[in-house]
A and B are shown apart, each in its own frame.
Chain A
Amino acid sequence: MLTSEWLPLLEKCEPALLKSLNLEGYSLVKGGPFGNSLEYRLGAAWLVLEARHPQSPPFALRVPISDIFARSEHIDRLNFISEKMDEKMIAWFPGFEMHAFDFGPETGIQPCPVMVMQWVDGEPLWRVLYQQRNEPQVLTDLLHQFSRLVDEMTSAGFDHGDISITNMRVMKNGMLMLLDPDSLTHEELHISRSVELGHPTWNHSQRSTEHTTNLHLVPVALMKCFIEALIEDPSLLVVEPDPEEFFYTEEDLQDPYGSSNFDHLMEVFGLSHSSKENLHPLFDLMAALDGSFEDISLWLEAPKCEKKKPKVTIKYLLDKKICPPKIPGMNPNIRSIQPGRKGWTTSNFAREFNFFRKHS
């Protein structure tokens, strides 16, 4: 169903919808492009509305634009992801719950799924990168944030499936947040197909809807190489970019060795095509893009944390009783400390030591 069809229907159903979602006291923000409809964000799959309350945190209400995303198998997957994220206390993706509401026969889906998601206040990553391009420390912090987010995502068993510049927001506290749950999966789901292909400017050209655990490797490497290069050379974003073709084009990714954008990155890093003996992550990325998608893990792989070799076991630590210091009053040998009174007695050695220190 189109946005223009959804908006009047949502306006009509607003009180009943909010009540059914236990969002009494909330109202949908009005505005829209002409100021006379509901304010909305348009995703590829969902229409996103903002529900606000004078005292409580805002929520994003999402209704499906395409019926692909309203199919029961997809809703089951979203329900699983929602519960799994809650269980793992995920902080890199806004929490959400799946509900359903009967909007009537006009939507063609009865009842229609409605996603209630934590509202993310923040700026899109592409805009922050452009606005902060001359602030290397801010960019370095963002790069840390991004690496940490990916580490947390993969170590918790999740795979976003569609990491791209438009799916990331920078919150006011500097934290990065991924958005768009439609390709999100978890290893326990054993998904074999993705519902989305991913944006062609952030993915290997041979990527298909087949789900593999390597889906994030190319977009992550593209993002990291770009931000690292931007730290060195702000002129990479000299004009405000189009988020749909932020830096890399589809052609760049299809032919990295013939791409002027990749040449530009090599120049920033002081690399040349003939200097491959200087190993650099950009070379790995280009080789991965140039080869077949099945082989990308030969070139790109998630960083492995180097673990310290344990010397004691957890059991040993738990079995040992913690001995807090002796508590005055409970142990007659230890005196209590009274404010204003000297609390310790110097030993003979201390007196000699201090005397020596003061007079030497």
Chain B
Amino acid sequence: MKATTQSPALVLFLVDGSHSTGVSWMTDVEQGTEESIAATLETAVNRALHDLVVNVCYQESEICNRIALGLYVAQGDSVYWGLGEDEPEDGWLPANEWATLAQQDGDFPRWFNLEPKGKTPLLKGWERVYATLSEFYGKYPQSSAMVVTLTDGSFKELNFDEETTGELIELQQSTVRGRSFVHLLAHISADGDEPLVFPVERPDGEVASMLYDLSTLLPSHMFEGSNVPELGGVTLSPESRSYIHNADPVLLSEMIQLGSRVVEGNGPRPLPMPVIEEE
């Protein structure tokens, strides 16, 4: 996924903000630490944005417009702009505008807050995302794009019949039309199902197979060179789909932070060095 100032890449987050993301999960088994899924999502998205600013957009004392950003929250009956202030007319903001919109909150910059409530109008959310994507491709036909869908997957309220699923997949394909595009989907329900992590084969089950079909292969440049890429202890292969179901907080965070690894900048760039957080 190339990102330059002439052909900026678009990163679109679609976040499920429903009440059910208020559920807690165990972030530290030994110490019994719990955190809500919403809090994990919020932290991971903010870290990913910080990572994109520092590792992709910043160069020679300025923020280069390499990453256009849209962040939408599907919550209640509507889909709203999640970066505060008014939704931009285009549906995304250039990097020099979104980068400095963060709040100084504690030790880290915070662009995004999530307060779980209501249902998940995820279908509306995808429609909004594809409409924004279509606008963006109209303006930047050579650009790449990445959509990150984060949901706890309370899919019963979404009426996913075969026809809806087919239409959604067709909408994605007709919007993208073979361009450079990555769709990362993280389905993090607390339903107790077996985890499915970057699968290489289409899984059984209506929802899982639909989400698998919507997900894309990871960009081939991630597999160049001698290092075998891995995420959260899971080795990735060129056939891996960018889909996880029932991951844990670690893998979810890592997946969301894939952003700067997915983007190929103007030149070789070191990957962010892992920092061990102080406990």
Chain A contact residues, CB within 8 Å of chain B: 89-91, 140-141, 144-145, 148, 152, 173-175, 307-308, 310-314, 316-318, 320-347, 349-350, 353-354, 357
How far apart are the CA atoms of A340 and B100 in the complex, in Å?
Answer: 41
Q: Which of B73-81, B125-133, B268-276 contacts A (4 or more CB under 8 A)?
A: B268-276
Contacts of A324 in B (CB 8 A): 47, 51, 253-254, 257, 272, 274-275
A-contact 0/1 string along B184-201, CB 8 Å cutoff? 000000111011010000
Contacts of B101 in A (CB 8 A): 308, 310-312
Q: Is the CB of B85 within 8 A of A322?
A: no
Q: A320-B107, A325-B257, A344-B25 are in contact. Are A349 and B100 (CB under 8 A)?
A: no
Q: Is the CB of A317 within 8 A of B102?
A: yes
**Residue on B with the closest CB to A173?**
B141
Of A322, A336, A341, A350, which is in contact with the most chain B CB atoms at under 10 Å from its CB?
A: A322
Contacts of A330 in B (CB 8 A): 274, 276
Contacts of A332 in B (CB 8 A): 30
How far apart are the CA atoms of A357 and B97 in the complex, in Å?
Answer: 41
Contacts of B113 in A (CB 8 A): none
Interface size on B, residues (CB 8 A): 68
A351 CB to nearest chain B CB (Å): 8
Contacts of A327 in B (CB 8 A): 274, 276
Contacts of B250 in A (CB 8 A): 325-326, 328, 334, 337
- Top-6 shortest CB links A-B: A336-B233, A310-B100, A325-B253, A344-B248, A91-B6, A343-B248
Q: Is the CB of A326 within 8 A of B54?
A: no
Partner pick for A312 among B23, B100, B248, B274, CB 8 A cutoff: B100
Contacts of A353 in B (CB 8 A): 20, 23, 190
How far apart are the CA atoms of A152 and B140 in the complex, in Å?
Answer: 12
Q: Is the CB of A312 within 8 A of B102?
A: yes
B256 CB to nearest chain A CB (Å): 9
Q: A89-B4, A324-B274 are in contact. Are A343 and B246 (CB under 8 A)?
A: yes
Partner pick for B50 among A148, A322, A334, CB 8 A cutoff: A322
Of A321, A335, A338, A347, which is in contact with the most chain B CB atoms at under 10 Å from its CB?
A: A347
Q: Is the CB of A342 within 8 A of B54?
A: no
How far apart are the CA atoms of A330 and B276 in the complex, in Å?
Answer: 8
Is B108 among interface residues, defined by CB-CB distance under 8 A? yes
Q: A312-B100, A314-B58 are in contact. Are A141 and B138 (CB under 8 A)?
A: yes
Q: Is the CB of B191 within 8 A of A322?
A: no
Q: Is the CB of A89 within 8 A of B97?
A: no
Q: Is the CB of A144 within 8 A of B139?
A: yes
Q: A313-B100, A317-B54 are in contact. Are A91 and B195 (CB under 8 A)?
A: no
Question: For residues 1 through 43 of chain B, which have their beta carbon under 8 Å from a beta carbon of chain A?
Answer: 4-7, 20, 23-26, 28-31, 34
Is B93 among interface residues, defined by CB-CB distance under 8 A? yes
How far apart are the CA atoms of A306 and B25 in the complex, in Å?
Answer: 42
Partner pick for A337 among B191, B192, B232, B279, CB 8 A cutoff: B232
Is B249 among interface residues, defined by CB-CB distance under 8 A? yes
How far apart are the CA atoms of A203 and B202 in the complex, in Å?
Answer: 60
